[in-house]
Structure 1
Amino acid sequence: MPRKPIRSLLTLDPRAVLLGIVLTVNVLGGLSWCAVTALDYIDTLGRAVQDTRATAQLLEGHARSMVEPHLALLDRVAGRLQGRGMGALAERALDEALSAPPGTLAIVGSDGSGAFGPTILFDGSPGGPPAGTLDRVDDGSGLLAGAGSVDGVPALVLGRRVRGPDGRYDGAVLVALPASALSAVLNALDGPQHHAGLYRPDGGLIAGSGAAALGPLRAAEGAATQVVESWPAGGREHVLAWRRVGPLPMLAAVAVPRDAVLAPWRSRLERGVLVTGASLLALLGLAGLGWGSLRREELAMRALAEANARLEQRVEERTSDLRSLNQKLVAALAEKERAHQAKARFLSAANHDLRQPFQALRLFHHLLNERLKDPRDKGIADKMGDALDSGEKLLHALLEVATLDAGVVRPNIGVVSVAGVLEEVMAEFRPAAAAKGLELRVHACGCAVRSDPVLLTRMLHDLVGNAVSYTKEGGILIGCRRRGQWLRIEVWDTGAGIAAEHLDSIFEDFVQLGNPERDRSQGLGLGLAKVRRKAALLGHAVEVRSRPGRGSVFAVMMPVAAPETVADAAPAPAGPETAPPAERLILVVEDDPVQRSGVQLLLEGWGHRVVTAADGFSALERVRGAQRAPDVVVTDFRLPGPMTGVQVVTRVGEAVGHPVPGIILTGDTAPERIREAVATGCRLLHKPFSPELLCDALAAVEPAPATRGAQRAATAAA
């Protein structure tokens, strides 16, 4: 049974079905449009009512804030005279009246004669404020409010009647507020769509550019706002909202013409009628074209199916090509990553292996230099020290890069005085610039920025050092530019400049332009690489501009600190002088016999007792078989066998029953090794280190608990 209606529908004329659909759509669309138009009408009036109410509240609040001080003055003066009459003016109210601002307060008698202050008049009372005029501006509350003037200047006049001992009207106290004080907000609220003003309860205009008369306005109790959607004024219907201004017989009113409110709605109504008619005509035209388009649609569908098949074939071919290219790209990236890792491993291993002989050379050079007496021999030793310094600069640069890559550097962000940083950098490079005949200048900068003072100083040190190295003549300028909340510290030079194609590559490791011979006197090619890493760590931006043959400018951009005084760090209070460390028993664990011998000779020369071991197991055997536990363990990080230097320090503490302080010596700059060593709590020295650094580390190391007890016992016995 249900299939017959479906078959009957399928046999209908498609044109009739299309026409029925068009008519149904038009009817539904017309009904929807009528409903939307009615809702739009209601919403338009509702928004006008809300806007008018809000504007009236704004006007009332401003007017109340302006008149409240004057009303308080009026109450104080009138209160002193009320019930006593004008005869009590000199005795009770004169001092209060004299405290009023000039030109704002007047006291008049019942006949309009002035008793005190300027001439303040209500409109309509040229000879003074007679009782009839005061009755007109009094709503029974005892307060007076109306338009008037003070010495001929338009003003808003407030007043309060004064009665004598017999209860009769004896005069009035008047306060004037210049009309210009309200003109700013009234002008802002007034316009082609709003008419704002202050009115008396009888509808008379006091201030503003609204209608001259609105008719009697009933003031609601409290702070309620009255709104009427249709109020006749000036021959036009208005949306009117009014609100009483505090206790005064004065209303803040805002009126909007209804025709101006409904003008956008009428415009939308006209456009809607046009759109609806155009839609009906368009639907009828589409119905006429529908039948003819059925055939064209069938042909188009066939062509589309053929084009889709061809497109799928082309997509498959392109996908295959992209897959092949993607595989090649992945292989190339993997190869690049392997090359990068191999380079890192090579640098780390080479760095570690080079530090070992450098450390031994540094120790023996120190011992040799102390024993040489002949000046010629000392000169040769000094040249040997210069050669060691040159090699160590490269190793220390590699260590700094590896430390930044390892992520163990934690910036200490604070307020930094730019002037102090620039002065420190200038003091370091003035001699070098003067030796080359360069003019080194700095523009004073009083700003403070948020940065790490140490890392920022090192960044500027590398930038100024590069400028001095690559500038042959002319000068170098360091200056600051403020850009809103950011500060740019710029380093200008008059060097050879950098070609545009090299501006990105100069921040890579070991890149030096104009130095194909790799002359170490011209640097190592790591300065700008370190600048880039430190800037990324601090969140600063580094920029470079250059013109070949003219010079370059490098800039670091950082946030400006809040205005505050950058206090100099107070010097730490001087504590009691500590005696030099007593003789210690030091366990030295080093697999390299040359290194072990050098450290032993150095420590014994300082008056310490030294026990040596080549690996972790030997060190533990020495500790277990000794009568005295070592005070300090000085060990290499990499040792033969399964234990590292960190593990040796831990195992020695377990063997003697209490923690033993340790100093870790390492030439390994791999990031993961640096993080592991820093996490132990032991002091860390990177090879090659100077004997002075080792001496400072020993002085800073606290003795083991057993040693402290022995020292206290010895002190007590003494």
Structure 2
Amino acid sequence: MSNDMGAMTWAMAAGGAPMLPVYAILMWVTVGNSLRFGTTYLKITTMGALASIAVTATFNAYWRDNPFLVLTLACTTILVPAYIHSLLQRLQTAYVREQEANLSKSRFLAQASHDLRQPIHAISLFTACLRSAKLGPEELGMVENIDRSLQSVSRLFKSLLDISTLDSGKVEPRFEPVAISDIIEDVRRQNAEAAQRDGTALRVRACAAIVSADRALLTTMVQNIVNNAIKYAPGRPIVIACRRRGDRLAIQVYDRGPGIPEADQAKVFDEFYRVRRRGDKDIEGVGLGLPIVRRLGTMLGLQVMLRSVPGRGTCVSIGNLPIVQAQALSAPPRALDPSPTLGGLRVLLVEDDEAVLRATASLLQTWGCQVQAEPAIPGTVSEIDLLVTDFELGSGVTGTDCIAAVRRLAGQALPAVVMTGHDEARVRVDLGTMDVPILSKPIRPAELRSVLVAARIGMRTRPAPAG
């Protein structure tokens, strides 16, 4: 900036009248620096421009002979930056208000979705209990309809919570070695029930490669893509596959749905945009699935690409995943051993919400578990095999505190499961370990059961304590 000012001052002082247009460049530099760097630089460049005019008027005869020209240029040098300063101040004020409004919206969405997740979570568990009761075909059909509606609302709240969490700027990726087969199998298991209900064949061609990524965020990305495919391609086959490109890996989701017109393909990544045509069937959702995928991809440094041919189907790809350890790309997905049951499993359940506590305890008892249900950390612990706890237990107590206290009372490192309506990454940081499964509310009963079965398998394979 000093060099620019110096060069222009020398040109006007030495050139006289023919170099008078250089003043326009002087004003451009003055205003341009202010727009680029802010009001502080505007004040500095304005003083520099006035000094340049003063130096030029002192050493150039033409300028000395035209004092009104000098006065006009000096006034212009003061008035134009002053007006620009006023506009910048208004722009800054409007920007701050807009940011505050966005943060307020995000906080509202996060709080509203969290508060509504609790009753939806309880209803979902009570519905699972009803399904296990001796109901007639008509009543069982009504229960299925209630459960289907609850799952739709659950997915909507998850999208709202995801977008509000991203807007808050508090999401920090935690890169670690991640087995792609685990991610794909987790997504397949979560969507198996919805796919079966819609008559969709959900196929997996997994790989055994290990990549560097944030496990929770990558799972959310794949989950949103598969959920979109199930919604827009019901009754059609969907394939989750991997493709290796050098030392990078791509996760691809193919469907044989109606496809997306070329004019809409770039817009589907805009928030709340949905491809709709006159007479189209109403489909649940608000158009946040792919926008969340794109934003998470940008955060993780991944490439999100979409290819679609109307009438033939769509492929959404998450690429640029760095391979840490390459293995065979055709390894079969790891399946959970279905043989173990939950009969006799002794569970300590800690949940501060009475409805959720009662619903979860009833469901666990329906599965044959022996349940000790507590609204807070108990003072004594009977013989238990597993701890299931909510994350926020009130009065500043968290699931992390509960796990530590119960393990201390039991005198051993009991396996634990945490349920939460908050951001999983935040809960994971608080726990400080990857060994505790985290379930996001509202929890699907099938998801809770699979985690408990996996925990029981782990108990059988864990060596017995010495002595």
Give me the TM-score of the superposition, normalised by structure 1.
Answer: 0.41
For 1:611, the equivalent position in structure 2 comes to 372
For 1:583, the equivalent position in structure 2 comes to 344
Q: Is the 8 A contact 1:678 1:684 kept in 2?
A: no
For 1:327, the equivalent position in structure 2 comes to 89
SS in 2 for 1:635: strand
Q: CA deviation at 1:464?
A: 5.7
For 1:652, the equivalent position in structure 2 comes to 406
Question: What is the letter of the counterpart of residue 684 of structure 1?
Answer: I
131, 153, 157: which one pairs with 1:391? 153
Q: CA deviation at 1:310?
A: 3.5
Q: Is the 8 A contact 1:545 1:554 kept in 2?
A: yes
Question: What is the letter of the counterpart of residue 402 of structure 2?
Answer: V
Q: CA deviation at 1:641?
A: 1.2
Question: What is the letter of the counterpart of residue 661 of structure 1?
Answer: P
Q: Is the 8 A contact 1:585 1:610 kept in 2?
A: yes
The separation in 1 between residues aligned to 2:120 and 2:177, in whole angstroms, is: 32
333, 339, 355: which one pairs with 1:594? 355
Alignment of 1:94-105 (within 5 A): none
Does 1:521 find its partner at 2:283? Answer: yes
For 2:77, the equivalent position in structure 1 comes to 315
Q: Is the 8 A contact 2:260 2:314 kept in 1?
A: no
The separation in 1 between residues aligned to 2:117 and 2:353, in whole angstroms, is: 12
Q: Is the 8 A contact 1:592 1:614 kept in 2?
A: yes
Q: Could you list the runs of 5+ residues in structure 1 that have no partner in the other structure?
A: 1-296, 417-427, 436-447, 470-479, 714-718
Percent identity of equivalent pairs: 23
For 1:620, the equivalent position in structure 2 comes to 378
Residues 193-237 of structure 1, C-alpha deviations (whole Å, 9 max, x = no match): xxxxxxxxxxxxxxxxxxxxxxxxxxxxxxxxxxxxxxxxxxxxx
Alignment of 1:537-556 (within 5 A): 537=299, 539-542=301-304
The separation in 2 between residues aligned to 1:408 and 1:605, in whole angstroms, is: 39
Judged with a 3 Å threshold, the aligned counterparts in structure 2 of structure 1 residues 693 and 575 are, in CA distance, closer, same or farther, namely closer
The separation in 2 between residues aligned to 1:605 and 1:465, in whole angstroms, is: 30
The separation in 1 between residues aligned to 2:449 and 2:135, in whole angstroms, is: 24
Question: What is the letter of the counterpart of residue 452 of structure 2?
Answer: L
Q: Is the 8 A contact 1:590 1:639 kept in 2?
A: yes
Q: Is the 8 A contact 1:462 1:531 kept in 2?
A: no
The separation in 1 between residues aligned to 2:318 and 2:434, in whole angstroms, is: 36
Q: Could you list the runs of 5+ residues in structure 2 that have no partner in the other structure?
A: 1-58, 182-192, 201-208, 235-242
Question: What is the letter of the counterpart of residue 352 of structure 1?
Answer: H
The separation in 1 between residues aligned to 2:362 and 2:125, in whole angstroms, is: 9
Q: Is the 8 A contact 1:415 1:566 kept in 2?
A: no
Aligned length, in residue pairs: 365
For 1:637, the equivalent position in structure 2 comes to 391
For 1:687, the equivalent position in structure 2 comes to 441
Question: What is the letter of the counterpart of residue 567 of structure 1?
Answer: A
Q: Is the 8 A contact 1:543 1:556 kept in 2?
A: yes
The separation in 2 between residues aligned to 1:298 and 1:569, in whole angstroms, is: 81
Residues 477-520 of structure 1, C-alpha deviations (whole Å, 9 max, x = no match): xxx9x9xx999x99997756647xx956x434333354899986
SS in 1 for 2:414: coil
Question: What is the letter of the counterpart of residue 373 of structure 1?
Answer: L
For 1:357, the equivalent position in structure 2 comes to 119
Q: CA deviation at 1:602?
A: 2.0
Residues 23-48 of structure 1, C-alpha deviations (whole Å, 9 max, x = no match): xxxxxxxxxxxxxxxxxxxxxxxxxx
Question: What is the letter of the counterpart of residue 602 of structure 1?
Answer: L
Judged with a 3 Å threshold, the aligned counterparts in structure 2 of structure 1 residues 315 and 532 are, in CA distance, closer, same or farther, namely same
SS in 2 for 1:521: coil
Residues 48-88 of structure 1, C-alpha deviations (whole Å, 9 max, x = no match): xxxxxxxxxxxxxxxxxxxxxxxxxxxxxxxxxxxxxxxxx
Question: What is the letter of the counterpart of residue 373 of structure 2?
Answer: T
The separation in 2 between residues aligned to 1:461 and 1:603, in whole angstroms, is: 29
Q: Is the 8 A contact 1:497 1:552 kept in 2?
A: no
SS in 1 for 2:394: coil
343, 348, 358: which one pairs with 2:110? 348
SS in 2 for 1:682: coil
Question: What is the letter of the counterpart of residue 665 of structure 1?
Answer: M
Q: Is the 8 A contact 1:668 1:674 kept in 2?
A: no
Residues 655-704 of structure 1, C-alpha deviations (whole Å, 9 max, x = no match): 44433332111112386456435757422111111223222322333559
Judged with a 3 Å threshold, the aligned counterparts in structure 2 of structure 1 residues 641 and 316 are, in CA distance, closer, same or farther, namely same
Question: What is the letter of the counterpart of residue 586 of structure 1?
Answer: V
Q: Is the 8 A contact 2:165 2:423 kept in 1?
A: yes
Alignment of 1:153-192 (within 5 A): none
Q: Is the 8 A contact 2:342 2:369 kept in 1?
A: no
Q: Is the 8 A contact 1:588 1:613 kept in 2?
A: yes
Q: CA deviation at 1:603?
A: 2.1
Question: What is the letter of the counterpart of residue 642 of structure 1?
Answer: G
SS in 2 for 1:386: helix
For 1:88, the equivalent position in structure 2 comes to none
Question: What is the letter of the counterpart of residue 614 of structure 1?
Answer: P
The separation in 2 between residues aligned to 1:652 and 1:413, in whole angstroms, is: 30
Q: Is the 8 A contact 2:417 2:438 kept in 1?
A: yes
Question: What is the letter of the counterpart of residue 445 of structure 2?
Answer: P
The separation in 1 between residues aligned to 2:142 and 2:337, in whole angstroms, is: 42
The separation in 2 between residues aligned to 1:459 and 1:364, in whole angstroms, is: 26
The separation in 1 between residues aligned to 2:449 and 2:94, in whole angstroms, is: 50
Q: Is the 8 A contact 1:411 1:455 kept in 2?
A: no
Q: CA deviation at 1:636?
A: 1.2
Q: Is the 8 A contact 2:249 2:321 kept in 1?
A: yes
Does 1:662 find its partner at 2:416? Answer: yes
The separation in 2 between residues aligned to 1:507 and 1:316, in whole angstroms, is: 46
Q: Is the 8 A contact 2:212 2:321 kept in 1?
A: no
SS in 2 for 1:380: helix
For 1:532, the equivalent position in structure 2 comes to 294
Judged with a 3 Å threshold, the aligned counterparts in structure 2 of structure 1 residues 494 and 329 are, in CA distance, closer, same or farther, namely same
Judged with a 3 Å threshold, the aligned counterparts in structure 2 of structure 1 residues 304 and 652 are, in CA distance, closer, same or farther, namely farther
The separation in 1 between residues aligned to 2:96 and 2:425, in whole angstroms, is: 21
Question: What is the letter of the counterpart of residue 606 of structure 1?
Answer: W
Judged with a 3 Å threshold, the aligned counterparts in structure 2 of structure 1 residues 552 and 353 are, in CA distance, closer, same or farther, namely same
Alignment of 1:295-314 (within 5 A): 299-303=61-65, 307-314=69-76
Q: Is the 8 A contact 1:497 1:550 kept in 2?
A: no
For 2:190, the equivalent position in structure 1 comes to none
Q: CA deviation at 1:391?
A: 1.8
Q: Is the 8 A contact 1:544 1:553 kept in 2?
A: yes
Residues 540-575 of structure 1, C-alpha deviations (whole Å, 9 max, x = no match): 4457899xx99999986956999xx98335569999
Across the aligned residues of Structure 1 and Structure 2, the Cα RMSD in angstroms comes to 5.5
Question: What is the letter of the counterpart of residue 326 of structure 1?
Answer: L
Q: Is the 8 A contact 1:587 1:630 kept in 2?
A: yes
SS in 1 for 2:274: coil
